[in-house]
Structure 1
């Protein structure tokens, strides 16, 4: 019997073992750091455009804002404002010592003008922020801009950090790191890029996706739970953006109708700042939705991980149902949170509109009502749809990961 020749064996690459959680986490954080540095460079590269001062300055006069301490109240003329609860209107002549800037250590006379809705009377020992105007002949005139609340705000921020760490422990500390990273990304990268003319909506969405990736990695490393939460967050935020774009198109309203857009419009017209104001409505929807969607996605992914750990025999379908049950309990309260956050930020305007006793068509035809409705509902829809998406993605990752672990054993 003839021996059949052996078939030549194909060259096969050895199977690489899966990366450990710690190694994957380090890789993601290193790549994210590189992206951060590159984005920071792009955001601040090129010639910075001079946007001028917030205040008009004529001739060779210069205006600075410096911290000072009230040494003495030389004179005051004020009266109780009857329309408000204990507020005063009037003026004060103060002897102050400037604490910062060119004139630090000098004692000057400052004037404090205040009313019921602007400024407030001060006392000896109070810290204030001064508007220091230097005239062409060298004379200096100072007025009180506001009470210096920076020390109070720093103390309040420290209290917040302490409470978060005491209650949350290591997880609380990690969340604070994520919060700090989010603020840096928004203020040091996103806003400068928008001011340089980057497309408003795509840039905001990509930045929010990047923020969620880094925050989830800091919070839980690269794990099935965090991967599922990240993918669910990106999907939910994307849907909020899509519904915001659709509502903006159908409602024939955009970011140019936002309440505080006029100063940006002035910068665009008179200073040539190329910011895309039309997309600011949807950009605000993306940012507002991000926090709620991250919360929901992480809660569902964590719950499914715990459920699977307690009963590893559950199928993907059963895990998905469990995730939906958890998500339904969260949907109502989180929707209230988003809507109340939008309405609470405009409480003063709502009281004013109610007091004017506007007709139905008058009230609901205002840009304010349309903008708040679009923003609140689009964010809520994105958050609600993130529930089944996160449940589906997490259940798939958990069951597939469990099968791979069993096969390796």
Structure 2
């Protein structure tokens, strides 16, 4: 028998909705309490010297000159002899010297910006330690604000044009994620709070806000929330065990080492685990939402599927999703660490030695723990979604069976019964009555 695919799936019964509310609301309340307790008391302040003043400027003239000859000494090195050499004149657009034209040397060295007339640059003001009244300017970087604004505008327009209201909600969720990250997670870690506790609390808050804002307050979203939260907790436990077993210290990158010099109070060991949890959240909510939606669509396409059949069919979809996501995670970590990977390989070290270094072991732990969390998210979310979907359907079927027949149905049944019970008599001449 065919099924009406346009009919929405039956809603979850009131009892099941109450169970979901009684489960999700206390978890959200606990998350809010944790955020309030861990909220940083003040904005993070620098513990070293104040930063060098930076101002916007516009290049008005570039003069290239031949570089002076450098004596060929072993201790001199090749730096500074290749150029380019010359001066750059730029107009200061802001700050105490706004409108003034200053002269700076052409930037040189690895990663130095290439400048031309009309470029918008970042100028740093350097003060002479012997005479604070004397200052000079150097070009530090290019201004990238305007191109980034146009790129983000195109990004937002494309999402809204394709996703419409759902795309607008996704943008709001993205803004909320960055807001929580910049106003709570990072300042709380810099203040000295335990990075693992801050990461779990902040990730849970991001999950609640983003999922309900993007997908609506529904039972399907609640299933995705519970599946994501369970997978996050499992990821945290696995990460703790893996980091302890591999004896990682958190000093596997130059950034972590620099951070330890700037702020010795930051727990880099916990920061590594916090990064694994926050990094896993972005992929976990994708998997859990997909699994919950898959179970709902399968139930709508074939209402005759049992709970076990729904679980098996949705799990097959989840396996395909996980197979592609694992490759995405590995390539994402490899792409972000490509320069350091090239540096390690160029050093001529053995592959086994490279893989067991602090940095490579750290990336392997990140990938493995995130993948295990994703794999666990599929059965957890699929089982919850199958229970919710079949519970709503069984209650709807019971209401359909127990519904009393209406007057029209009774009349049609009576007419059908009287017509069937009639005994037409044959005509004596052999003619039969018109059965039409």
Bin for the TM-score computed over the shorter chain: 0.7 to 0.9
Indicate the residue corresponding to 1:122 in structure 2: 115
Normalising by the residue count of structure 1, what TM-score does the alignment of the two structures yield?
Answer: 0.81
Residues 76 and 64 of structure 1, relative CA distance in 2, 3 Å threshold: farther
CA distance in 1, matches of 2:36, 2:391: 38
Q: After TM superposition, list the pairs within 5 Å mapping 1:382-401 onto structure 2.
A: 382-401=373-392
The separation in 2 between residues aligned to 1:185 and 1:50, in whole angstroms, is 21
User: Does residue 1:163 correspond to 2:154, yes or no?
Assistant: no
Aligned residues of 1:254 and 1:280 also touching (Cα < 8 A): no
Q: Secondary structure at the match of 1:119?
A: coil
Shift of 1:394: 1.1
Cα distance, 1:286–1:76 mapped onto 2, change above 3 Å: farther
- Kindly state the Cα deviation for residue 42 of structure 1 after the two structures are TM-superposed: 6.0
Q: Distance in 2 between matches of 1:109 and 1:351?
A: 38
2:54 aligns with: 65
C-alpha separation between the residues in 2 aligned to 1:268 and 1:158? Answer: 36
Q: For 2:30 and 2:59, how far apart are their aligned partners in 1?
A: 47
Q: What CA distance in whole angstroms lies between the structure 2 residues aligned with 1:77 and 1:143?
A: 20
Unaligned runs of 5+ in 1: 1-16, 56-62, 80-87
Q: Secondary structure at the match of 1:314?
A: coil
Question: For each residue in 1:114-163, what CA deviation from the matched residue of structure 2 results, as whole angstroms up to 9, or x when unmatched?
Answer: 23x22133111000000012455433310000111111111111121122
Are 1:374 and 2:365 matched, yes or no?
Answer: yes
**1:365–1:408 distance in 2 versus 1, CA, 3 Å:** same
**How far is 1:408 from its partner?**
6.9
Hey, what does 2:294 align to over in structure 1? 303
Determine the C-alpha separation between the residues in 1 that align with 2:291 and 2:249: 33
Asked whether the 8 Å contact 1:296–1:383 carries over to 2, the reply is yes
Distance 2:36 2:358 in 1: 35
Q: 1:36 to 1:157 in 2, by over 3 A?
A: farther
Query: Could you say which structure has the greater relative contact order, defined with CA pairs below 8 angstroms and 6 or more residues apart?
Result: 2
Compute the displacement of 1:252 (Å): 1.1
Post-superposition shift, 1:111?
2.4
Report the Cα offset of residue 54 of structure 1.
7.1
1:372-403 deviation per Cα after TM superposition (whole angstroms, max 9, x unaligned): 11011110110111111110111112222334
Question: Between Structure 1 and Structure 2, whose CA radius of gyration is higher?
Answer: 2
**Contact 2:160 2:168 (C-alpha < 8 Å) held by counterparts:** yes
- Residues 1:152 and 2:136 aligned together: no
Q: Which residue of 1 aligns with 2:47?
A: 51
The size of the alignment, in residue pairs, is 367
Structure 2: which 5+ residue stretches go unaligned? 1-12, 69-81, 401-436
- 2:327 aligns to what? 336
SS in 1 for 2:84: strand
User: Secondary structure of 2:263's match?
Assistant: helix
**Stretches (4+) displaced over 3 A:** 31-44, 46-50, 74-79, 134-137, 256-259, 401-409
1:52 alignment partner, SS class: coil
1:285-300 matches, within 5 Å, as: 285-300=276-291
Q: Given the alignment, which residue of 258, 265, 273 partners 1:263?
A: 258
* Alignment partner, residue 11 of structure 1: none
